[in-house]
Amino acid sequence: MKEQTKYLTNDGYQKIKQELDHLKKVKRPEISDRIKQAKDYGDLSENAEYADAREEQSFVEGRILELEDILKNSEIVESGKSDPSVIQIGDEVIVEKEGKEFSYTIVGSNESDPSLGRISNESPIGKALLGKRKGEEAKISTPKGESIWKIVKIITK
């Protein structure tokens, strides 16, 4: 089964690479040392330090696999290299809704953080904005109902 392409900005790609590097070069050896020390304490069946270290090891190894999969199946999106008049992944968009302006950056799902205005290209808002031009309107369907958002400005990075 073919994996779904994950879209990342260059910043997002670099952050994932840094996290992966940190887990492999720092956390793995630390956990390995903790396991070795815990084994020296004796009976492993009643050794809380050993159990805790093994649990952390399991989490870290799972995260390493997840990050490697993201990097293997990712495409770096460079918004400044395409049509600057059309909203694409990586662009910052200023929209007007009910007389108020909001700013969002469209990113891949692995980089989304709505509290920071970084919305996924797979979210209802992201899907509705992609491909639109300045001055156009987007009909956004959310759990609270439908609303119309006007594209005020597109900022390519």
Going along the chain from its start, the domains and CATH numbers come out as 6-76 (1.10.287.180), 79-155 (3.10.50.30)
Q: What is the mean pLDDT of residues 118-141?
A: 93
CB atoms within 10 A of CB 154: 21
Residues 64-82 pLDDT 10s: 999 999 999 998 887 566 6
CB neighbour class for 61 (10 Å; exposed up to 12, middle 13-18, buried from 19): middle
DSSP 3-state assignment of 154?
A: strand
Q: Is residue 22's pLDDT more than 80?
A: yes
Q: What is the mean pLDDT of residues 100-126?
A: 93
Note the Cα 40 to chain centre separation in Å: 40
**pTM to 2 decimal places:** 0.76
Q: Which residue has the higher pLDDT, 58 or 6?
A: 58
For residue 84, give both structure tokens.
């600057």
